[in-house]
Amino acid sequence: MAEFAVSPRNQVKRVPARASYDQATIYQIIDQALVCHVGFVQDGLPSVIPANHARLDDVLLLHGAQASRLMQHVGAGHEVCVAITLVDGLVLARSVAHHSLNFRSVVLFGRGAIVDEEQEKLRALKVLTEHILPGRWDEVREPSQSELKATAVVSIPIDSASAKVRCGPPADDEEDYQLPIWAGVLPLQQGALEPVDEPGLSAGIPVPDSVLNYNR
């Protein structure tokens, strides 16, 4: 599938010129983001909960404690809406009204399911770990049986999705371009700082390449 089908649910109505339904664009945003926000309705009340995520083919994976309300609700097969956002810059116009952000965002819809089979669950946990830091899974101890039991993994097949992307300079009103006010974009990016050793780290253990080479 090269494009997600456009339906009343996922069709971007507000500023549709910024919309994309291109699967590659959508998956790139999902894969670059560390955090998603999962929206769901329980007992008639809406909740939005932030979480780590990872994508495995056309499925979004989440994990958490077995006791987590989020895991239980999504795992029970309910419909969810997930928002994923990357902020690329501050858009600074001459007028207050035209200030904005440059961004790439995704809104996706799907119905969750629990991932229970042991090998599938391990694979999902590996994908989730590697999403945070590629190479980490092979550097660390794998989960024990009791850790696996205490961890819930849920999958959300991405049934429908859209991206919205704003890029470029601010757009001021014609008469404002003559004002003596600086306008432009302050680009932002997520970057890693120096790694910090855990206080109990044994002497002589170097920072692994996965950490040294981290780049998102």
Per CB under 6 A, residues contacting ligand FAD are 9-14, 85, 87, 101, 103, 105-107, 162-164
148 versus 165: smaller Cβ distance to ligand FAD: 165
Pairing of strands 45-52, 100-111: unpaired
Shortest Cβ 10–ligand FAD spacing (Å): 4
* Residues in contact with 108: Cβ distance below 8 Å, sequence separation at least 6, in sequence order: 26, 30, 60, 81, 82, 84, 156, 158, 159, 160, 161, 162
Shortest Cβ 20–ligand FAD spacing (Å): 9
124 versus 163: smaller Cβ distance to ligand FAD: 163
Shortest Cβ 110–ligand FAD spacing (Å): 12
Could you give the CA distance from residue 128 to residue 60 in angstroms, rounded to a whole number?
10
The residue whose two tokens read 């009791």 is: 146
What single-letter DSSP state applies at residue 123? Answer: H
Shortest Cβ 116–ligand FAD spacing (Å): 30
9 versus 78: smaller Cβ distance to ligand FAD: 9
The pair of three-digit structure tokens given for residue 126, joined into one six-digit string: 């590996």
3 versus 147: smaller Cβ distance to ligand FAD: 3
